[in-house]
C-alpha cells in the first residue's frame, strides 16, 4: 500500500484544518444565535389573531435576545405563499413561519398542487396555541342539543344549512366531519369571512355554525346564540361548562384551529431548541395567556419532537375530511 506523497500532506493538513475551523465557526454561530435580526413570516393578512400573537412574541423576543425580530406578512393562497417562502429560506434560524391548520394540515389535500411538503420541508419549533370551535344555533332555535340537530338533519335531508368563513376553514371542515359521522345531508354555505357567516346565522339564513369560541361566546352571553358543544376532544378551559361533541355522542370528533412556529428543514437542532425555549417562556407568562384567551385561544407550547408528531398526525386526518367533503381550490 502506497504512503501519501509528501507533496500532498500539507494540502491534506490544510483541508483538515479548514474543516475543523468551519465546524468550530458553525458551533460558535449556533451558540451565539441570534447575531443579527430575525423575522417571523405570517402567511396571512395583518390584524388577524395569528398576526397579533406573532407581533407580541416578536416584541418579547427582541427584548430577550437584544436583536430585532420583525413580523413579515406574506398572505395569499390560503397561507401557501408565506409558508413556501420559509420552506425555501436558508436553514439558519433567521426566518421562521407561523404555520397553521390550513398551511400544514388542510392545504396539502385542498390544493391540487402544493409548492412545499408540509412535513418534509419544515423543522417544527413549537405549537403556539389552539382555538376550539363551538357548535352554535340561534337562541330561539328548537334545537337544544347535538342529538336534536342530528334528528333535525335526518328528518330534513338537504334542507338544513350551515355557514363558514371560507372553504377549507376549521368551521367548514367541522361541518363536513359532522356530516360524515352522522350520515346526514346538510348544506355548506361559504361566506367571505366568519363575520358575515355569523350574521347569516343570526338572521336565520342558516341553521347552525361551527365558530371560533371567542366570537361565538360573545353572542351566547348576549342571549342571541345557544352553544351546543365544543369541537375539541376535551372541554375547553375557557368554557368548561360546554360539553364536547364526543360527550354528545359523536365519538372521536376532534377539530380545532391551531398555529405554531416552524423553521426550514435542516435548521440546526441547537437553534431550534433556542427558539423553543424562548417562545415557551413567553407563552407561559400570565398576560400572554390572557391575551390569547381573549381571542378564544389556549396557549399550548410543546417540544419540537411533539409538535412534529402532531403535524404528522393532522395531515392524514384532514385529508380524510377534505376528500369526504369534495372541496378543492384551484
DSSP for 176-211, written as a single string? HHHHHHHT---EEEE-SSHHHHHHHHHHTSSSEEEE
Domains plus CATH for the chain?
37-130+256-325 (3.40.190.150), 132-230 (3.40.190.10)
Report residues of the chain scoring pLDDT below 70: 1-30
Contacts of 14 (CB under 8 A, 6+ apart): none
Contacts of 106 (CB under 8 A, 6+ apart): 78, 168, 173, 318, 322
- CA neighbor of 76 nearest in space, from 56, 112, 102: 102
Q: Tell me: the pLDDT tens digits for 11-53? A: 656 555 555 544 444 454 567 999 999 999 999 989 888 999 9
pLDDT of residue 324: 84
Residue 208's CB is within 10 A of a number of other CB atoms, namely 26
pLDDT of residue 146: 97
**Cα 101 from Cα 236, distance rounded (Å):** 18
DSSP state letters, 78-123: GGHHHHHHHHTS-SSSSEEEEEEHIIIIIHHHHSSS-SS-TTTTEE
pLDDT of residue 18: 53
The mean predicted confidence, pLDDT, of the chain is 91
pLDDT of residue 16: 57
pLDDT of residue 21: 47
Amino acid at each position: 500500500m502506497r504512503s501519501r506523497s509528501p507533496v500532498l500532506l500539507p494540502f491534506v493538513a490544510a483541508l483538515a484544518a479548514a474543516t475543523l475551523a468551519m465546524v468550530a465557526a458553525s458551533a460558535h454561530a449556533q451558540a451565539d444565535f441570534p447575531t443579527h435580526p430575525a423575522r417571523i413570516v405570517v402567511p396571512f393578512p395583518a390584524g388577524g389573531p395569528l398576526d397579533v400573537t406573532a407581533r407580541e412574541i416578536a416584541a418579547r423576543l427582541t427584548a430577550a435576545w437584544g436583536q430585532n425580530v420583525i413580523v413579515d406578512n406574506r398572505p395569499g393562497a390560503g397561507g401557501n405563499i408565506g409558508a413556501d417562502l420559509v420552506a425555501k429560506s436558508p436553514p439558519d434560524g433567521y426566518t421562521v413561519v407561523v404555520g397553521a391548520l390550513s398551511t400544514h394540515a388542510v392545504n396539502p389535500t385542498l390544493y391540487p398542487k402544493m409548492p412545499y411538503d408540509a412535513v418534509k420541508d419544515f423543522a417544527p419549533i413549537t405549537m403556539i396555541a389552539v382555538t376550539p370551535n363551538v357548535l352554535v344555533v340561534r337562541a330561539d332555535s328548537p334545537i337544544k342539543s347535538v342529538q336534536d340537530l342530528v334528528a333535525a338533519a335526518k328528518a330534513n335531508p338537504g334542507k338544513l344549512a350551515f355557514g363558514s368563513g371560507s372553504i377549507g376553514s376549521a368551521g367548514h371542515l367541522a361541518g363536513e366531519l359532522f356530516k360524515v359521522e352522522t350520515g346526514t345531508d346538510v348544506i355548506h354555505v361559504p361566506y367571505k369571512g366568519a363575520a358575515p357567516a355569523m350574521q347569516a346565522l343570526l338572521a336565520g339564513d342558516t341553521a347552525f355554525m361551527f365558530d371560533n369560541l371567542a366570537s361565538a361566546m360573545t353572542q351566547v352571553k348576549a342571549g342571541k346564540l345557544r352553544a351546543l358543544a365544543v369541537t375539541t376532544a376535551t372541554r375547553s378551559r375557557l368554557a368548561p361548562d360546554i360539553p364536547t361533541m364526543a360527550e354528545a355522542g359523536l365519538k372521536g370528533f376532534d377539530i380545532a384551529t391551531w398555529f405554531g412556529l416552524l423553521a426550514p428543514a435542516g435548521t440546526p437542532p441547537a437553534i431550534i431548541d433556542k427558539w423553543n425555549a424562548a417562545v415557551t417562556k413567553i407563552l407561559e407568562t400570565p398576560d400572554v395567556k390572557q391575551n390569547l384567551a381573549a381571542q378564544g385561544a389556549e396557549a399550548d407550547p410543546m417540544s419540537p419532537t411533539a409538535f412534529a408528531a402532531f403535524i404528522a398526525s393532522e395531515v392524514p386526518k384532514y385529508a380524510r375530511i377534505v376528500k369526504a367533503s369534495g372541496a378543492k381550490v384551484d
